[in-house]
Chains A and B, each alone.
Chain A
Amino acid sequence: MIGSRPQFSFSRSEMTLKEKLWHVSWSFVLLVTLVCSIGFLTLYSAANGNIDPWASRQMMRFLVGMAVMLAVAMVDVRAWMRWSYTLYVVALVLLMAVEIRGSVGMGAQRWIDLGFIQLQPSEIMKITLVLALARYFHGASYQDVGRPLFLVPPLIMVLAPVGFVLKQPDLGTAMMLTLASGAMFFLAGVRLWKFAVIIGAGGAAVPVAWQFMREYQRQRIITFLNPENDPLGAGYHILQSKIALGSGGLFGKGFMLGTQSHLNFLPEKQTDFIFTMLAEEWGMVGGVVLVGLYTLILVYGYAMSLRSRSQFGRLAGLGLTTTFFLYVFINTAMVMGLVPVVGVPLPLISYGGTAMLTLLFGFGLIMSIYIHRDVHIGRRGATDEV
C-alpha cells in the first residue's frame, strides 16, 4: 500500500492538456488583459503619445508573462506544493546573495542581472513565501495551529526574508511580506488573541524599530505625517501627486492632457505614480473604474481559491490574492497620501518587468489551483496517502 510513488485515491493528474485548457477561466484571463491594456494606454500617454519607450516594452513583457501564466497554470498543483520549500530556499539564498553583494559595494542594488531580465529576489519571495506557508499549514489541524510552538517555524520562515528585505532596505516589500503572511496565519486558523499580542508587541517595538531605521526611511514617515512641511524636499512626491489627482476632478483632463504628469511635476509617472496620472487624465471616474476592475480580480481570486478542495490550494490562492490586494492598496493609498511613500508599483499597470512577471506567475498559480481544484492532497503533503 505504501509505495515509493505517491498515489491518490481520487486523482485528476491524468488530465490532458486539452482538458486543462478547457478548465482555464478565460474570463479571468480577459479581465487581466483588460487591466494590462489600461496600463499600455497610460504608458502611451506618459510618453507624450509615443509607444516607445514604455508601452511597447510593457506589451512584450505582458506577452511573455501571459505565456508564463498559462504554463504555470498547466503545471499540476501538487508539483507546486512539492517544490514550494525548495523554491522558498532558493529565493532566500538569492536574497542573501544580493544582500552580500550589495554590502560589498554595489549600493542598494536589489536585483540579479540575468541579461534578459533583472531578477529581484524580493519579488520571487512574495510568491515562494506564500507557497511555503501554504504547504506548512496544509497538513495542520485546528489543534496544531493552536499550539504556539507549531507557529515558530512559519514565523522564522517569514522573519528571515523580511529581515533581509528590510536590510536592503525595501520598506514596501517588507510590509507586503509581513501583511500577506499575517493574512495566511489568520486564514490558517491562528487564534485571534495571538494577533492581538503580536500587534501589541509590534506597537511597543515601534520606538526600537525607529532606532534601526535609515534616515531616509524616518524622513519618509515624518513627511507622510506632514507632507506640507517640506513641499520642495521630501514632501514633494506626495504633494505633487495630490495636486495632480485633485486637479483631475471628477471626469479628468482627458487622455494625454494631464498637465502635471506631462510637465514632469509628477515624479515617476510611469512607475509608482502611474495611478495618479491615470486619475488626473480620467478623473475620479477612471480611478473608480480601475479600482472596480481590481476588485473583480480579487473576487475571481477568492472564488477560484475557495473552490479548491485542498487546504494548500485554498491557502496559497488566498495568500496570492492577498498579495495582489496589497499591491493595489499600498500603491493607491500611497499616491493619495494615505500611507507613506514606499516603492510598491501598481499591479499590471506600472512600467516594470519583474512585478508584471511576479503577478502573472501568481495568477498562473491561482489558475493552476483552480484547474486542479478537485485534486486531493493528503494531510502530510504530496507524498501522503489517504
Chain B
Amino acid sequence: MNRDNDRGKIIGRRAALLGGGKLMLLSALVGRMYYLQVLEADKYAVLADENRINLRLLPPPRGRILDRNGVPMAVNQQNYRVLVVSEQTEDLDDTLDALSNIIPINDHDRARIVREAKRHRSYVPVTVRENLSWEDVARIEINTPDLPGVMIDVGQSRNYPLEGLGAHLLGYVSAVSEADLQNSSDPLLELPGFRIGKAGIERVYDLALRGKGGTSQVEVNAVGRTIRELKRDEGEPGLDLALTIDLELQQFAAQRLGSESAAAVVIDIHTGDVLVMASTPSFDPNAFNRGLSSDEWKDLITNPRSPLTNKAIAGQYPPGSTFKLMTAMAALESGAITPDQRVFCPGQMNLGNITLHCWKKGGHGSVDLVSGIQHSCDVYFYEIARRAGWERIAEMARRFGLGTSLDLDLPGERAGIIPDKAWKRATLGQPWYPGETPINAIGQGYVLATPLQLAVMAARLANGGYAVTPHMARDRIEGIHAVSRLSPDWPEIGVSSHNLMQVRRGMYEVCNEPGGTAYSARIKDEAMAMSGKTGSSQVKHITARERDAGLKKQEELPWKDRDHALFVCYAPESEPRYACCVVVEHGAHGGSAAAPVARDILIEVQKRYLQHTASTPAGQPENGSSPVPARANFELHGHDHGDHDHGDHDHGDHG
C-alpha cells in the first residue's frame, strides 16, 4: 500500500503539472484568437472582401458604322460558336472525336482546344469553332446527347453587310496583339476574344466604337465560380458612327468603275465631306473574319490590280495634265503671264539641248490660257512654267493640298510628291535641272498625287480658294462622343479670285466647248454642268526610236504599259458644290476612260442632293446662264471640234 501511495502522490503531482501545461496551451489558443480576431480583425476583414468580390468586365457592344443617311455599313452579327466544357465531358478527346464527325476540326484547332482546356479551370468553356452555319448548329443540337460538355453559344461578331463596298474605308477588327496591350491600359483588351479595329475607320475611331466597358461585381467562391451579382455598371455601348459617305453614291461609283483598277472620290467643296471614296477592285472584309484560305490570300496579294489597296488615298499617280491647273495658277499669280498672252505651239519646244513634244503632232498654233487648258496644250505649259519657275509652281501645288498629307481620318493616306531642289538633293543627290521644270509642270517627272488630293485641289479651285480638308466622320468625335461639326471656317489659300476664274473658265471649256478634251463627256443639263480637266499620265518611257518608228496606239499596248487616265472636276458650274476625281489605272485617256465615269457620278450626286436640278430644263443654251465671266475673245476661239480625248502622253524625251 505504501508503494501505491507513493505512486498516487507521483501521479497526482504529475497530473497537476500536465493539466497545468494543458491549460497554458489552451490559454495560448485564446491569445491567438484574440490576436487574429481582435487585433488583426480589420486586416483580415479587408482580405476577406477581396477574396469574395470579383470585378468582372462587361464588354460593351461595338458601335455600328453608318453612312451619312444612317444606312448601316458595319454591324454586329450573332455569331454561333460551339464550346466545350471539359468538366462536363467524360473524356475531352472522346467528345472532340465525336464532334469532329459533325463539323471538321483540324489538328491545329484541336491542339489549341486541348491546350486552352488545360490552362483554364475545368468549368471554363473553350471555343471549338466560331461562325457556325445554321446547318452546323442544327446538326450539333440534334446530337447533343452524344456530345457531353458541348454547347452552342451566341456571341457577337463584326459583319459588313455590303461585302466589298466600302471595305477599304471600314477596315476590319481583329484580336488584340501584345503590342496593343502594351500601348493601352484599357482592361477590355484583356478580355478573351475581344476584337479591336485594325484598319480603316474601325481603327481610327476604335475608342469611340469600342465604348466603355461595364463592370459587374460578383461574389465568387474559392474556385472562381460565380455565386451572385452584387453590383452592376453597364458601361457605355460603342458609338454608332456616321460617315460622310453616301452609300448609294458609293455603290453607284463602284459599279460605274466596274472591273477597272480605279479610284473615284467625291467631296463637298465647302464642308470637306467625302461622299464617295471608291477603290476597285475591292475585297470582302467578312472573309477575314471567317478566315481566309491560303489560295484566297495569295489571289488577293498577287492580283496586279491590288484589291487590298485603297487607291483613293494610297495610290500615288503622276497627275499628268490635271497638274497643269497648278502651273497655270502659279504663272498667273506670279505675274509671269496674263490670261491673254499667247504662246505659239508648233508641236514641240526646244530647251537647251532637249526637245520637248506636245501631245498633238503638228501643234496647236496660237494658244492662250483658256484654250491652253481646254486643249491641254503641252507647249503652252512648258512655256509658262519656264517663265514662272518650278519653285512657284511647287509652292502653289502645296497650297492646293498636293504633296502633303491631308490629315484624313483614315489610315494609309499617302502624301504624294511635289518635288523641289531640296527634295531632289535629298532623295536623288542631284541638283534640279532646268529641263525638269516643264516636264514636272505637266504632271510628269517626279510629281505624284493621290486621287483624294486631286479632288481636294479641284475643290479648292471651285470654292474660291479656301483650304478645305476632307473628313470621313460626319461628326467630330471627342473621346467616345460625337459632336456636330461647326460650320467650316477654312483658311484662304491666298490666290486672287480673278485668276481662279480664268483657270475655271478653262476647265469649263474642257467639258463644255467643242474641242475640249472632255467635251464628249460633258453634262448636257446646263444646271448640272461640270467643269474639269483631263489627264493621261505616262507610265512607260517613250524612247526616241519608238517615236521615230511611229507611236503605237494606247489600245495596242499591254495593259500595264498603258497610261493612267485621270479626270478632276466639279459641278454644278453655276454654284459649285461637289468636286470629283476619277483615276483609272492604265485607262489610256483621261477624257474617254475617266471623264465619263466622273460625269455619271456627278450627275447622280446632284440628282440626290441639289433640288433645283429638277426645275432646270435640260438642253438650255450653253452660254445662257454660264456663271463664268465671258471673255472678250470668247467667240473668237474656234478650236478644232474633234473630241480630244487624248491626254498628253508624249512629253519631252531627253536626248
Contact = CB atoms under 8 A, between A and B. Distances in A.
Nearest to A333: B29
B14 A284 contact: no
A322 B36 contact: no
B220 A263 contact: yes
Contacts of A315: 11
Contact of A246 (B8, B11, B37, B221): B37
**Among the interface residues B6, B15, B41, B222, which one has the most CB atoms of the partner chain A within 10 A?**
B15
A186 B14 contact: yes
Given A288-B30, A336-B29, A325 B22 contact: yes
B11 A311 contact: yes
B52 interface: yes
B41 to A, nearest CB: 4
Contacts, number: 135
A368 interface: no
Nearest to B16: A302
B225 to A, nearest CB: 8
Contacts of A338: 28-29, 32
B36 A336 contact: yes
Nearest to B39: A246
B138 interface: no
Interface residues of B, number: 40
Interface stretch (A76-84, A150-158, A204-212, A236-244): A236-244
Given A142-B3, A246-B44, A336-B33, A187 B51 contact: no
B62 to A, nearest CB: 34
Contacts of A294: 26
Given A311-B4, A318-B15, A318-B18, A245 B33 contact: yes
Contact of A250 (B28, B37, B44, B47): B37
Nearest to B223: A264
Nearest to B47: A243
B261 to A, nearest CB: 59
Interface in A226-277: 240, 242-250, 259-260, 263-267
Given A302-B15, A314-B15, A329-B25, 6 more contacts: A246-B48, A264-B222, A283-B37, A295-B23, A325-B22, A332-B29
17 contacts: A142-B10, A186-B18, A187-B15, A189-B10, A189-B11, A246-B45, A246-B48, A247-B41, A249-B45, A260-B51, A260-B52, A264-B222, A284-B34, A306-B11, A306-B15, A318-B15, A333-B32
Interface of B: 3-4, 6-8, 10-12, 14-15, 18-19, 22-23, 25-26, 28-30, 32-34, 36-38, 40-41, 43-45, 47-48, 51-52, 219-223, 227
A51 interface: no
A260 B227 CA distance: 12
Contacts of A248: 37, 41
Contact of B32 (A266, A328, A336): A336
A291 B52 contact: no
Contacts of A189: 7, 10-11, 14
Nearest to B10: A189
B221 A249 contact: no
A142 B6 contact: yes
Interface in A364-386: 379
Interface string A323-344: 0010011001100101000000
B48 A291 contact: no
A260 to B, nearest CB: 6
Contacts of A188: 11
A142 B47 contact: no
Contact of A245 (B11, B22, B36): B36
A167 to B, nearest CB: 28
Which residue among A186, A243, A338 has the maximum number of chain B CB atoms within 10 Å of its CB?
A243
Interface in A45-73: none
B18 A263 contact: no
